[in-house]
Structure 1
Amino acid sequence: MEKTTSQTYVLVHGAWQAPYVWDTVCTNLQKEGNKVIVVELPGHGADKTPAQNLGLDVYTDKVVAAISEQGGKIILVGHSLGGMVITQVAEEIPHKISKLVYIGAFLPASGEALTDLAYSDPHSQLGPALVPSHDQLTLDVKPDSLTYLFINDGSELAKDMVLANYRAEPAIPFSNKVTLTHENFGTVEKVYIKTLQDIVISQHLQDRMIATAGITSVYSVNTSHSPFLSQPQAVSDLLREIGQQIAS
């Protein structure tokens, strides 16, 4: 068997989720000799940073710090909200990124926030399920809607995992706009993996963001919003294929 060059992948989770969502994909990629860094965004998982102290810049700084510790270029992968983060990271350190990979992710143009994109997506079913806190610092998803929205095609085990790891989402980063330039973000090669059964980020919005960004390398998985949980092997295979294209 022909030996392929290993890659370093940096994986960034989305809203209402945490590093655990990448566990199987991470294991699959590591088995093939790749290095995988899974970033825990502040205010998610076990991180207790108060919601009022969070912004897109704080998320970006965390990912930049993780990448800066790596010797060569990396493949930077973001899901959902993570797409906003990896976009701003690519603006800051384009020379460290060989490819940006968006998986069912928000992909903003310069001057856009996640809320700008989400509010422009009438086909999304997320909005009616959101419950803001009294202080407006966090957003909850109605419990009876959570797995339906995020992993309707997943196993009961995967759904239970999403419920068990659920935390209210910090709200401030949703309204933070990105600032992008052709000289930095514009020079990084981009790939989009569409999630075809997604009811959080609709096909209409995914297609519009892909077209606006001029992305020509487009793949798809026939899954809900969380393909790394419902079809982790398919996601692993695509990420490996993307890595092999760099090596070839």
Structure 2
Amino acid sequence: MNPFLLLIVGFLMAHSGFSQSTKRTFVLVHGQWHGAWCWNKVVPLLQGGGHQAISFDIPGFGQDQTPTEQVSFEECVEKVVKEVQAQPGMVWLVGHSSSGLVIAQAAERLGKEKVEGLVFLDAFLPRDGESVFSLSEKFAGPAGPPLQKALIVSTDQKTISLNPAMVRELLYNDCTEEDLQYALARLRPGPLSVLATPVRLTQQNYGSIPKYYILCTKAKDMDKSTLSKNVSCREIIELPASHSPFFSMPDNLVEVLNRLGR
């Protein structure tokens, strides 16, 4: 090929959507009761687009063997921090549901030098000093969110589980029967500490990292339309999905992730 044409092609590749510089590392953090398994449809789609997609079980969930009743919020944060630090460049942290607080606290420790963006996937979006429980009360009122009626607290007050007869309605209302059964076979009780522990955040660290909120408008666990504005986000994107878009519309979810910050 003509050397001049080679130069033009190289320039276009370097400045197009196919440039390696547009590829990202997404660290996907599941929420309460779930595990890395909930990202099984999302990971290959991200990887197929040339991105890195990292998913894992936080302590006490999925295939992790840590006794659930012994898991602390800090252990979950530490797991995320270690996974992020193992990546060579900057990352996008994606937290689902209760793990909005986990990624917020992890970002506080990692800083904007490591975290390019925070993505709250129908998640709890905290300010300093807030917890999942306090945010639920703040935005759902004294009666609590609809999900509250499905919660089962252990007698020792250390773990919390879900009534399996109610999870379709509250978490998977637009998912297939196959996805529902897949989830039911894998849901585990979660540590109460993850929901009760308040985050400690600063404007200098957490506050300086760009935030994006993906609001699932068909979610029935809790209306998060006001919660999504608890902290200023660069963008709030509405997705017509249940609380589990990683099952019901993974392609749409990945499309949103692809264009964040563009």
TM-score (norm: length of structure 1): 0.93
The corresponding residue for 1:174 is 195
Residues 163-190 of structure 1 deviation map (CA, whole Å, 9 limit, x = unaligned): 1111112112111000111110010000
AA in 2 matched with 1:71: P
1:181 and 1:233 mapped to 2: Cα distance? 34
Q: Which of 136, 148, 161 does residue 127 from structure 1 map onto?
A: 148
- 1:236 equivalent in alignment to 2:236: no
Q: Which residue of 1 aligns with 2:7?
A: none
Given that 1:21 and 1:228 are in contact with CA atoms closer than 8 Å, whether structure 2 keeps it comes out as: yes
1:191 pairs with 212, 215, 219, which one? 212
Please point out which of 86, 94, 102 is paired with 1:85: 102
Deviations 1:70-99 (A, max 9, x none): 111101100001111000011111121000
From the superposition, tell whether residues 186 and 146 of structure 1 become closer, same or farther in structure 2 (CA, over 3 Å): same
Output one character per residue of 1:43-70: Cα deviation in whole Å (capped at 9) or x when no partner.
Answer: 0001121223212111100000000011
Number of the residue aligned with 2:87: 70
Conservation of the 8 A alpha-carbon contact between 2:169 and 2:220: no
1:208 match:
226
Identity %: 33
2:102 & 2:201 partners in 1: Cα distance?
A: 12
Counterpart in the other structure of 2:165: 144
Rg larger in structure: 2
How big is each residue's C-alpha offset from its partner over 1:174-226, in whole Å with a ceiling of 9 and x where there is no partner? 11000111110010000000010112131xxx233332311131111101111
Q: Supply the AA of the counterpart residue of 2:94.
A: V
Q: Which residue of 2 aligns with 1:165?
A: 186
Q: Which amino acid aligns with 1:56?
A: F
* Contiguous gaps of at least 5 residues in structure 1: none
Tell me, yes or no, if the aligned pair for 1:105 and 1:201 is still in contact at 8 Å: no
1:104 alignment counterpart? 122
Secondary structure of 2:40's partner?
Answer: helix
Please give the per-residue CA displacement for 1:132-151, whole angstroms capped at 9, x wherever unaligned: 11111111211210122111
Q: SS of 1:101's equivalent? A: strand
Q: Report if the CA contact (8 A) 1:150-1:224 is conserved.
A: yes
Q: What's the RMSD between the two structures over aligned residues? A: 1.4
Please list every run of 5 or more consecutive structure 2 residues that lacks an aligned counterpart in the other structure: 1-15
User: Does the Cα contact within 8 Å between 1:60 and 1:88 map onto a contact in 2?
Assistant: yes
In the alignment, the residues of structure 1 paired with residue 64 and residue 86 of structure 2 have an alpha-carbon distance, to the nearest angstrom, of 20
Q: 1:9-61 deviations in whole A, cap 9, x for unaligned? A: 10000111111111111100101111111031100001121223212111100
Q: Kindly tell me the number of residue pairs found equivalent between the two proteins.
A: 241
User: C-alpha distance in 2, partners of 1:199/1:2?
Assistant: 36
For residues 259 and 147 of structure 2, the distance between their equivalents in structure 1, rounded to whole angstroms, comes to 31
Instruction: Return the alpha-carbon distance in structure 1 between the equivalents of residues 158 and 93 of structure 2.
Output: 28
Q: Give the TM-score taking structure 2 as reference length.
A: 0.88
Give yes or no for the alignment of 1:3 onto 2:15.
no
Query: Displacement, 1:2?
Result: 4.5
Match of 1:115 among 120, 123, 133: 133
Q: Bigger shift: 46-55 or 24-33?
A: 46-55
Q: For 1:143 and 1:34, how far apart are their aligned partners in 2?
A: 35
Report how far residue 227 of structure 1 moved. Answer: 0.7
